[in-house]
Structure 1
Amino acid sequence: MPRDTDSIEREIEKARNELASTLDELTVRTNPKRLVEHTKQTLIAKFNEPAVKYGLIAASAVVGLLVLRKALR
């Protein structure tokens, strides 16, 4: 059954609106300032996890001791 032009035009308009909405959402998501802020928050949250925090402290202590040991030789 052939479709009438009104229904085709409605479908086209609906597709345009969905595309515009998708593009708006992508624009917001890919905003560089927003990406930087999101990455910063993610890293802060990750570094505040006890396993990561104490692992970094231990690794820093080992590196510090190795540097100190090398300097005293």
Structure 2
Amino acid sequence: MARDPETIEREIEQARTSLVATLDQLGTKANPQKLADAAKDGVRAKLDNPKVKYPLIGVGAVVAALLIRKLFR
């Protein structure tokens, strides 16, 4: 049984529209700027945690003290 050409064209157009929508969604999700912003927000959230923030400050202070000590020896 042969299919109607108009039905075939309509199905092709529906498939094309669906494909375009999928590609648009993938393009939005894979946007490098969006990915970078999400990573930056994740790092900021981790650094705002006191269990991470204060030890890092302490390590920074120790490193700074050691550098100053080495420079003035």
Q: What TM-score do you get using the length of structure 1 for normalisation?
A: 0.66
Gaps of 5+ in 1: 1-5
Gaps of 5+ in 2: 1-6
- Once residues 59 and 21 of structure 1 are traced to their aligned partners in structure 2, the CA distance between those partners, rounded to angstroms, is 49
- Residue 39 of structure 2 corresponds to 39
- Residue 71 of structure 1 corresponds to 71
- Residue 57 of structure 1 corresponds to 57
Task: Give how far 1:24 is off.
Answer: 2.5
Deviates more, 1:39-48 or 1:17-26: 17-26
Q: What TM-score do you get using the length of structure 2 for normalisation?
A: 0.66
- Structure 1 runs of 4+ with >3 Å offset: 12-22
**% of aligned pairs identical?**
44
Task: Give how far 1:16 is off.
Answer: 6.0
- Aligned residue pairs total 71
**Counterpart residue identity of residue 35, structure 1:** L
Q: Check 1:69–1:25 CA distance in 2 against 1; reply closer, same or farther (3 A cut).
A: same
Cα-Cα RMSD? 2.7
**Counterpart residue identity of residue 38, structure 2:** H
- Residue 29 of structure 2 corresponds to 29
- Once residues 67 and 33 of structure 1 are traced to their aligned partners in structure 2, the CA distance between those partners, rounded to angstroms, is 37
